[in-house]
């Protein structure tokens, strides 16, 4: 069996004396693992870095095998990522979020989002804001999507400033006022009406608080796992840069 695809490297580990096991998020074949022969060589080490984009060819005798990968460099981001504490933690979080999805399950839209995030990880505004959106997208792909398009109580599409923790749907200022202490804040930049709005650090942190609530309740808790350390570290870097 064989396929060729574009992929984003999200993980590498040693295998034997000279090989490496590489984890890639691909456009059409989902998250995939494969052994790269000679992956620890001086020629391949600069290519096999988290955050780099590659063209990869996967081969295996049968589909169930891990198989082998051959990779060609496409876009190198390792230098920019290595030079930023926020980006280093960001690429770890990016991988951790994508690992919540079943292996080999195609998610082309998430691949596109991950590629854009990887290109902006060293940007203290754009990168974190996109990461919040990725968490929302992962929740959606796992079947726990939030509806932030209109007020759950009245159907209005403007002045949405809360999210119901029970339904995961937006609530307007007026409808939510009597229960404001029980509702979650909805940052402006996540409102459908305010897309493209440049958020402040506080709004981005509020976005992570929102997605974190639903990730914990619907994903981490039921699986009996803790939130990835990379998430805490990434948010910590963002707080440090405020």
**What pLDDT digit, counting tens, does each position of 39-92 carry?**
999 999 999 999 999 999 999 999 889 999 999 999 999 889 999 999 999 999
CA distance 203 to 189: 8
Identify the bridge partners of residue 57 per DSSP, sorted by sequence position.
4, 70
Mean pLDDT taken over the chain = 94
Strand ranges for 80-219 from DSSP E: 160-163, 170-172, 184-185
Half-sphere exposure of 67 (CA within 13 A, CB side): 21
Identify the bridge partners of residue 33 per DSSP, sorted by sequence position.
23
What pLDDT score was predicted for residue 191? 81
123 pLDDT above the threshold of 60: yes
Among 127, 149, 23, 7, smallest CA distance to 72 is for 7
CA distance 126 to 234: 14
130 pLDDT above the threshold of 70: yes
Mean pLDDT of 143-149: 96
**What pLDDT digit, counting tens, does each position of 173-210 carry?**
999 999 999 999 999 999 876 555 579 999 999 999 99
Domain map (residue ranges) of the chain: 2-76, 80-148+186-240
The pTM (predicted TM-score) of the whole model is 0.94
Question: Are residues 29 and 23 in contact, defined by beta-carbon separation less than 8 angstroms?
Answer: no
**What pLDDT digit, counting tens, does each position of 33-53 carry?**
999 999 999 999 999 999 999
The pair of three-digit structure tokens given for residue 29, joined into one six-digit string: 């074949």
What superfamily in CATH does domain 2-76 come from? Nucleic acid-binding proteins (2.40.50.140)
133 pLDDT above the threshold of 90: yes
């Amino acid at each position: 069996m064989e396929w060729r695809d574009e992929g984003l490297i999200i993980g590498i580990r040693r295998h034997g004396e000279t090989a490496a096991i590489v984890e890639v998020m691909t456009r059409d074949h989902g998250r995939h693992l494969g052994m790269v022969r000679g992956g620890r060589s001086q020629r391949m080490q600069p290519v096999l870095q988290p955050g780099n984009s590659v063209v990869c060819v996967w081969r295996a005798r049968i589909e169930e095998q891990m198989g082998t990968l051959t990779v060609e460099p496409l876009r190198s981001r390792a230098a920019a990522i290595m030079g930023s504490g926020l980006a280093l933690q960001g690429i770890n979080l990016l991988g951790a979020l994508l690992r919540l999805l079943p292996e080999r399950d195609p998610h082309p839209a998430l691949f596109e989002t991950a590629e854009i995030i990887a290109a902006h990880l060293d940007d203290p505004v754009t990168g974190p804001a996109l990461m919040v959106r990725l968490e929302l997208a992962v929740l959606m792909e796992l079947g726990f999507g939030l509806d932030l398009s209109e007020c759950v109580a009245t159907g209005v599409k403007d002045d949405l400033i809360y999210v119901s923790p029970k339904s995961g749907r937006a609530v307007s200022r007026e409808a939510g006022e009597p229960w404001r202490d029980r509702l979650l804040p909805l940052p402006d930049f996540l409102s459908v009406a305010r897309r493209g709005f440049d958020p402040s650090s506080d709004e981005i942190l509020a976005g992570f608080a929102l997605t974190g609530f639903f990730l914990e309740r619907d994903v981490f808790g039921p699986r009996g796992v803790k939130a990835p350390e990379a998430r805490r570290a990434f948010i910590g870097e963002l707080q440090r840069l405020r």
